[in-house]
């Protein structure tokens, strides 16, 4: 069974495979009257677009988004918004090897175990190309939360982390790594290029901060803001870990170290002395920046041969030829940003569903 | 708005506050004909029960579970199972300080911001007492997945990790820390006791492994097994991070290091040479053990005073008196196990919904 | 599999059987800050309470509702509201006949076919006693929609309809039939009593009107207000038909007869010349009264013997002894009202989820 | 807010407007391995296609369905199936009158009240063109339930009913009315033609029977088979009433008249002496044919002028020019059949989710 819808009030459903004619998303529950155009969504797809440097896959897709419904005279109507992106560079290469042997780390074996059957061309539905549809949906979500500014970046490749002292937001779009630390970006060129030349790949960590989220978003207990973010991020291809705020580092602290002490702020709202909590307490936003950290494993498609089995259960060895991202975490940045926007849009609408509460 | 139901086919809804008359869970979608009794569920609640050592809260609750519906002649009927646990030790202490001032790290400020209003007695709905209801529901979930064995334990307190060379499953229930490493358990006595004596608290990491999950559970893309586990774990009080398999460590690896190579197994199923993936690929179980790691922050309730603000937005200072767990991660073990069981039961039923697939 | 939750933002889950210790409902998604008490909900249960005349079942239940969670200092907190009603008059009669033979018209055979197993005491989960939990939940829903006044009544018993010329709202609570036409009520005494004396039963039609619903509630296309009402009403025991506005009579009309012509109203809102549509167009409320009509079949439990089969598939004959409503539609009135309130509360909250629309 | 997804395990989401470039459906949760092609779905769209006689709208649409995802080598893969139908005959007529004045009986006023804004071209999202997407999705649903045969037909136009003595299934596709009674079909020619010539329209009743549904489908209490069918049918444009089995006629009966007595059948399953219940008891199928009856109001678009108001709240009069079905119920037949298939496919999958029940 598959489940391709995410969200509670602001919902999106994605469809499409790596090598089908197109992929897309249907966004349902978007409020009416918002200005929207393909031009407002395209830049997010452009940021994710493959083939922009030697550090990402050489698949060449224009990834042009078309809006097929839900918009009238340049505004959302409140009805479902159908977004479609045509696949234009799905090469008809020889998939006979992938069809027969399971690529370790990929979904190949699991899909066969589940469905008894799989579309093996380019990974089919489990290809990261699906994330183009999420990014398009995320572009719509951003229209719902104009008060929020989302900043995503790569904070680590392999075991080389950025130095927060060098953090410069302007750098993020200035290098091929979405890296806010110009010095780290230079080092990463060598690291990622070496992985690429070795026919290997390398893992990465993406951080994402949402500024401007007011206190009060989050639906306890089983649609807590952090719970929804964890689900959203863990649903992205190659993601193996999610942290909110200090995350695993918080496990090493004592209570007084982890306390985000408060002081009176100028407008009646608190000033927090720290943000160990990543902007979320009890599953509800506190008004501080919402901070998420996401671990991407190294791309499973590598040229280095790996022992595996084939469809018949016999021993085999596989090298994954073709066009791949040597560091799939890099292009994960626009996807993480999109999932952040999608979760926040949903929580904002859920929150508006309240009718009688006086607000702090 | 609140959202207190979790699951898709096997669903549970919890209700209740720290200081109300009772709390409970309604489990809906449980298959019929399963043997069930209060005695089969009670041991899981006993494992979570407070007051069992000086390392956990001194609140003294029997936590006796009652089954109010859905069972006939000792078997589930397929109708909703209502589970209730009475609160018996909710002391009528003076809550005037907590009513007025926000405890940093707690949900106090966020709840007021969201609801304009909160039940401040013992944290109300945001109290970890709610997890008793989850543990009861988890006891029902285990009946649905008899093929699965779930083993949870504390793997780290503060920055002191267990040594996997010392791993002894029998130790887990033999010390007050759910610690599989007898030597680490000794060291933790001092660490946790010191935190307690200092009026402080300490963080922890809980690991949980599910053995016996067959290949094929998981509903891609937005109810992937790992995505559901991430949501489930992040919904637990005090959790700030979730990893599947190697988690954040995978971000530091190269592709060939992270590959879980396969070889033919005796029964046609693969033997994996490693389990970096934690038993999940493409959001679907691979037949390997499912491995989750969960970071708990230190308990926010500490005797050490912390600067804060009150309801009026004025500066204040708060010490959280009362009965608290110095290390909330310890009693997190039965809760993490319960959430694992609940997610797996749901995915098993979803998977059974398929009608025509031949199975690998 | 069972599905015992209804609603999207304002959701309730019921649990309990006819002969268990209790039954109840968990209401989730109720806005915070609403004044609430058991006394505010009890009158709705009292209206539905059995044993109040010879025209309803002689089962004697106090049906006292207890609020177990979600309320603090007399107001809703925004967290789940657990409502419980104890069963006090579930007699330990001999169920051996019902256990073995299927009562035609009842769920007996279907439950066995589905679950392989059933709680046969008093119909178990399929007993109309479950509707007590809905009525309690409906009492909470009414708090969410104070602008709406809901009026339900029996409009027909057997083939004897009320005369709308005699409609007197004050009459509804003045006779044992919830009948707004005093003359019809007199005739119905004879009809229902005859059915009772014959060991038979009789069908009925319940109408329910909601005044004060503003234009704009309803979530097209698959949670249209009329679609939600149809699902809600058809989920009630013994209901076999649902109409909105003119319903089946509309099928006999021509377009100009069915048009609800509009004229300018004093406050900019339209005055409608008729309400064939029952207050709903395109699945959205129009600001006119919302009108629903619900058909109840005759109670299936009758003393007149009916041919049937037993568990072994052998021929049998069954007479359903015990305490039954000779006309189950009568006590359907408070249930239909409750479902109306529950749907409207949900739609109101969904509607509030919108963020940017100017309102007509 | 809008809600454009229907179903629980087998789910579909529709999108698109009358005058946009295309409309479509995403079917999620379809089991893998089913044979599928565009040719297998097209006949259902052909049955619904406009412009096939003078008794339906003269809009001329090929309504060719394209499958964009979820299929590989002629079989479903278990991933979402995206279906698209291009709009080819959306004429650029003058909509200035409809843009300004509300058409009584249409969704115009309600949409404006809800969304503050509407796509007035051809009714936008509230156009019955959306049902093409449902019919396509229904074509996929039928693949999931090969054991079920669905027969829909018009049983009444205006107040002229078919004579069941004349029922001939072969007639249904032999006349432009989906009428199983050849004599009634002849009479209806005159009735519908007169309505058309008068610039008026006429209502109709559609009946739909599903043969072959086994006992045991249906998810009590709030996803009962009859409740789901009621929601499904009431979500169709112009529908104002739904009956299961005898429906409102059951309200006129006594218990012994309404009892579907059972006798032992040859294969251990019961033989029922009647089917007043329409194949559903307690919300669960009994193994008898499932019978639904659906009331369609007369098309609201008529040439006869009707008083109304305009956007400014001023008095106006409107005649709805353009291409319309004089009896929208006729083309409702394939839509009702599609909704029946969609509900049954969903319930079948839900039912399969059970794991341990022995089956009757």
> What is the pLDDT, as a whole number, of residue C61?
81
Q: Please name which of D299, D351, D347, D345 lies closest in space to residue D325, comparing C-alpha atoms.
A: D299
**Are D78 and B352 in contact (CB < 8 Å)?**
no
Out of B29, B77, B81, whose CB is closest to C115? B77
pLDDT at D355 over 70: no
CB C336 within 8 A of CB C292: yes
User: Annotated binding residue at D137?
Assistant: no
Nearest CB to C304: which of D230, D253, D256?
A: D256
Alpha-carbon gap, residue C303 to C47, rounded angstroms: 26
In this complex, the residue of B144, B354, B356 whose CB is nearest that of residue D355 is B144
Percentage above 70 pLDDT, chain D = 96
Asked if C14 and B68 come within 8 Å (Cβ–Cβ), the reply is: no
Structure tokens at A27: 């966004």
3-class SS string, chain B: CCECEECCCCEEEEEECCCCCEEEEEEECCCCCCECCHHHHHHHHHHHCCCCCCCCCCCCCCCCEEECCCEECCEECCCCEEEEEECCCCCCCCCHHHHHECCCCCCHHHHHHHHCCCCCHHHHHHCHHHHHHHHHHHHHHHHHCCCCEEEEEEEEECCEECCHHHCCHHHHHHCCCCCCCHHHHHHHHHHHHHHHHCCCCECEEEEEEEECCCCCCCECECECHHHHHHHHHHCCCCEEEEEECCHHHHHHCEHHHHCCCEEECCCCCEEECCCCCCCEECCEECCCCEEEEEEECCCCCCCCCEEEEECCCCEEEECCCCCCCCCCCCCHHHHHHHHHHHHHHHHHHHHHCCCCCCCC
Report the pLDDT averaged over residues A43-50: 92
What does the alpha-carbon distance between residue A174 and residue B271 come to, in Å, rounded to a whole number?
45
- Sort out which chain C residues have CB atoms less than 8 A from A79's CB and list them: 220
CA distance C350 to chain A (A): 6
Task: Report whether pLDDT(D360) > 50.
Answer: no
Query: Min CA distance, C73 vs chain A (Å)?
Result: 15
C-D C-beta contacts closer than 8 Å: 422
Convert the pLDDT of each residue in A294-352 to its tens digit: 999 999 999 999 999 998 889 999 998 877 889 999 999 999 999 999 999 999 999 88
∠ Cα C297 C299 C305 (to 5°)? 120
| Confidence check: pLDDT of B159 > 50 | yes
Q: Which two tokens stand for residue C285?
A: 């409320």
**Minimal-distance CA residue of chain D relative to B143:** D356
Q: What is the mean pLDDT of residues B340-353?
A: 93
D245 reaches C (C-beta below 8 A): yes
Residue C160 is predicted with a pLDDT of 98
D115 contact residues in A (CB cutoff 8 A): 32-33, 77-78
Question: Which chains would you list as touching D if contact means 3+ CB atom pairs under 8 Å?
Answer: A, B, C
Residue D308 has pLDDT above 80, yes or no: yes
Average pLDDT over residues D153-163: 98
Residue in chain C nearest D306 by alpha carbon: C261
CA distance B65 to B49: 12
Q: Where are the domains of chain B?
A: 5-354
Nearest by CB to B203, from A241, A252, A286: name it.
A252
Q: What is the reported pLDDT for C267? A: 81
Per-residue pLDDT band at A160 (split at 50, 70, 90): very high
Choose from A6, A24, A248 for mutation: most chain B CBs within 10 A: A248
Q: With an 8 Å Cβ cutoff, is C307 touching chain D?
A: yes
User: Which of A21, A80, A118 is the closest to D4 by Cβ?
Assistant: A80
Confidence of residue A360 (pLDDT cuts 50, 70, 90): very low
Inter-chain contact B349–D349, Cβ cutoff 8 Å? no
Fold designation for A5-354 = Chorismate synthase, AroC fold (3.60.150)
Of A26, A77, A220, A355, which to mutate for an interface test with C (greatest number of C Cβ within 10 Å)? Answer: A355
Contact B63, B53 (CB under 8 A): no
- What is the distance in angstroms between the Cα of A34 and the nearest Cα belonging to chain B? 24
For D286, the closest of C109, C254, C329 (CB atoms) is: C109
pLDDT greater than 70 at residue D269: yes
The number of C-beta contacts closer than 8 angstroms across A and C is 57
Cβ <8 Å between A28 and D20: no
B359 annotated ligand-binding residue: no
Q: Is C216 on the interface with D (CB under 8 A)?
A: yes
Choose the closest CB to D355 out of B220, B352, B357: B352
**In the prediction, which pLDDT does B359 show?**
38
Question: How confident is the model at residue C357, as a pLDDT?
Answer: 40
Q: Do A34 and C356 touch (CB under 8 A)?
A: yes
H/E segment holding residue D99: helix D96-100
The average confidence (pLDDT) of chain B is 93
Q: Which positions 189-208 of B are in contact with A (Cβ < 8 Å)?
A: 195, 198, 200-205
- Dist. CA D81–CA A89, nearest whole Å: 21
DSSP for residue C128:
G
CA distance B158 to A245: 17
Indicate the pTM of the whole model. Answer: 0.97
Is A6's pLDDT higher than 90?
Answer: yes
pLDDT greater than 70 at residue B175: yes
Is C356's CB within 8 Å of A32's CB? yes
What pLDDT band is residue B50 in, cutting at 50, 70 and 90? confident
Which chains would you list as touching A if contact means 3+ CB atom pairs under 8 Å?
B, C, D
Please tell me the predicted confidence (pLDDT) of residue A157.
98
Q: Is C74 on the interface with B (CB under 8 A)?
A: no
Put simply, whether D255 touches C (Cβ < 8 Å) is yes
Instruction: Count CA atoms within 13 Å of residue B3 on its CB side.
Output: 26
Q: What is the pLDDT of residue C354?
A: 61
Among C354, C357, C360, the strongest candidate for a mutation testing the A interface, having the largest count of A CBs within 10 A, is C354
Burial of B267 (0-12, 13-18, 19+ CB in 10 A): exposed
Contacts of D347 in chain C (CB under 8 A): none
A355: contact with C, CB 8 A cutoff:
yes
The Cα–Cα gap between C311 and C334 comes to 35
Quick one: tokens of B348?
Answer: 């098993």
Q: Do B13 and C29 touch (CB under 8 A)?
A: no
Nearest to B196 by CA among B326, B70, B79, B92: B326
- Residue D14: closest C-alpha in chain A: A80
Question: Do residues C208 and C151 lie in contact, with contact meaning Cβ atoms separated by under 8 Å?
Answer: yes
Per-residue pLDDT 10s for chain C (360 aa) are 789 999 999 999 999 999 999 999 999 999 999 999 999 999 999 999 877 888 887 777 889 999 999 999 999 999 999 999 999 877 667 778 888 899 999 999 999 999 988 898 888 999 999 999 999 999 999 999 999 999 999 999 999 999 999 999 999 999 999 999 999 999 999 999 999 999 999 999 999 999 999 999 999 999 999 999 999 999 999 999 999 999 999 999 999 999 999 999 988 789 999 999 999 999 999 999 999 999 999 999 999 999 999 988 899 999 988 778 899 999 999 999 999 999 999 999 998 876 444 333
How many alpha carbons fall within 13 Å on the CB side of residue B326?
22
CB within 8 Å: D357 and B9: no
Residues 54-73 on C with a CB inside 8 Å of D are: none
| Chain B residues with beta carbon closer than 8 angstroms to that of A295 | 243, 247-248, 250-251
CB A30 within 8 A of CB A140: yes
Q: Select from A3, A240, A264 the Cβ nearest to the Cβ of B245.
A: A240
> Residue B92: its pLDDT value, please?
61
Mean pLDDT over all residues of chain A?
Answer: 93
Residue of A119, A99, A234 lying closest to B227 (CA atoms):
A234
ipTM of the complex: 0.96
Asked if D78 is an interface residue toward chain B (Cβ–Cβ < 8 A), one would say yes
Q: Binding site annotation covers B321?
A: no
User: Does the pLDDT value for residue D73 go beyond 60?
Assistant: yes
Measure in Å the smallest separation between the Cα of C144 and chain B Cα atoms: 13
**pLDDT above 50 for D358:** no
Look at the block and give the residue holding tokens 């030697």: A54
Contact C117 B75 (CB under 8 A): yes
Residue D213 has pLDDT above 50, yes or no: yes
pLDDT per residue as tens digits for the range B65-111: 999 999 999 999 999 999 999 998 776 677 788 888 999 999 999 99
Q: Do C111 and D284 touch (CB under 8 A)?
A: yes
Contacts of B134 in chain C (CB under 8 A): none
Q: Which two tokens stand for residue A100?
A: 């027969």
Number of DSSP helices (H) and strands (E) in chain C, helices first: 8, 18
Spell C32-50 as b/e; 16+ CB within 10 A means b.
bbbebeeebbbebbebbbb
Q: Report the pLDDT value the prediction gives residue D50, as an integer from 0 to 100.
A: 77
Residue D48 labeled ligand binder: yes
CB contact under 8 A, B105 and A223: no
With tokens 């179903």, the residue in question is D7
Using a CB-CB cut-off of 8 Å, the residues of chain C touching D133 are: none
Using alpha carbons only, give the angle C228, C231, C235 rounded to the nearest 5 degrees: 145
* pLDDT tens readout for residues A245-285: 999 999 999 999 999 999 999 887 899 999 999 999 999 99
Q: Is C118 assigned a ligand-binding role in the annotation? A: no
Nearest CA in chain D to A121: D72
**Nearest residue in chain A measured CA to CA from D118:** A77
Of B86, B326, B348, B70, nearest in space to B200 by CA: B326
């Amino acid at each position: 069974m598959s489940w391709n819808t995410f969200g509670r009030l602001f919902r999106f459903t994605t469809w499409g495979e790596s090598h089908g004619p197109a992929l897309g998303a249907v966004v349902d529950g978007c409020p009416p009257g918002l200005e929207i155009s393909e031009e407002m969504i395209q830049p997010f797809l452009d940021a994710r677009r493959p083939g922009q440097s030697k550090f990402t896959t050489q698949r060449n897709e224009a990834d042009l988004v078309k809006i097929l419904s839900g918009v009238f005279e340049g505004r959302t109507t409140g009805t479902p918004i159908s977004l479609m992106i045509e696949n234009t560079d799905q090469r008809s290469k020889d998939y006979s090897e992938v069809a027969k042997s399971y690529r370790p780390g990929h979904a190949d074996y699991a899909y066969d175990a589940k469905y008894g059957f799989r579309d093996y061309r380019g990974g089919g539905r489990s290809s990261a190309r699906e994330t183009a549809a999420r990014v398009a949906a995320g572009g719509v979500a951003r229209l719902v939360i104009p008060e929020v500014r989302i900043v995503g970046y790569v904070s680590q490749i392999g075991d080389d982390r950025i130095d927060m002292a060098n953090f410069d937001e302007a750098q993020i779009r200035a290098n091929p790594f979405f890296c806010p630390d110009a010095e780290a970006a230079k080092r990463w060129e060598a690291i990622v290029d070496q992985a690429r030349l070795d026919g290997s790949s390398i893992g990465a960590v993406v951080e994402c901060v949402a500024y401007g989220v007011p206190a009060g978003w989050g639906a306890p207990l089983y649609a807590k803001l952090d719970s929804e973010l964890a689900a959203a991020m863990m649903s992205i291809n190659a993601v193996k870990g999610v942290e909110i705020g200090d995350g695993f580092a918080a496990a090493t602290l004592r209570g007084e170290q982890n306390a985000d002490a408060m002081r009176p702020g100028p407008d009646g709202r608190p000033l927090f002395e720290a943000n160990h909590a990543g902007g979320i307490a009890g599953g509800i936003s506190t008004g501080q920046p919402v901070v998420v950290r996401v671990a991407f494993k190294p791309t499973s498609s590598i040229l280095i041969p790996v022992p595996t089995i084939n469809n018949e259960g016999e021993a085999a060895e596989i090298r994954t030829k073709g066009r791949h991202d040597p560091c799939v975490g890099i292009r994960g940045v626009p996807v993480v940003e999109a999932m952040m926007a999608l979760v926040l849009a949903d929580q904002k609408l859920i929150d508006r569903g309240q009718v009688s509460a006086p607000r702090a």
